[in-house]
Amino acid sequence: MIKIGDNFALGANSLNIILYEKHIGKQGKSKDKERWQELAYFSNPHNALEYLVEHHIRKTELKDIKTVCLKIDGLQETIKGLKLSRKAL
């Protein structure tokens, strides 16, 4: 898996690129244990990263434009940190 920030990662199987989200167990045997849950499937990494931005925007519930812009800026910096070129994808 390729981590994207602290809470997301990209993986793959023979057919798809998979976006994972990190979850920490809250009770029982899984309490405080990290697990990666499949969030969505894509045909290429670029689509997965675009979805990740949209996913974060939806989580803001569009409370105000500043919150949305700050979230987008933060995600763009994280994605830039991966040092991917569009041609490589």
For the stretch 9-64, pLDDT in tens is 999 999 999 999 999 988 888 888 999 999 999 999 889 988 988 887 777 676 77
Total number of domains constituting the chain: 1
**Tokens of residue 8, six digits:** 């997301």
Model-level pTM?
Answer: 0.69
Burial 15-46, CB ≥16 within 10 A → b, else e: eebbbbeeeeeeeeeeeeeeebeeeeebeebe
Predicted local distance difference test score (pLDDT) of residue 22: 94
For the cut 90, the answer to whether the pLDDT of residue 84 exceeds it is: no
Q: For residue 72, what are the domain limits?
A: 2-88
Q: Helix (H, G, I), strand (E, B), or coil: what is residue 45?
A: helix
Q: Residue 57, exposed/middle/buried by CB under 10 A (0-12, 13-18, 19+)?
A: middle
Give the separation between CA 59 and CA 36, rounded to whole angstroms.
19
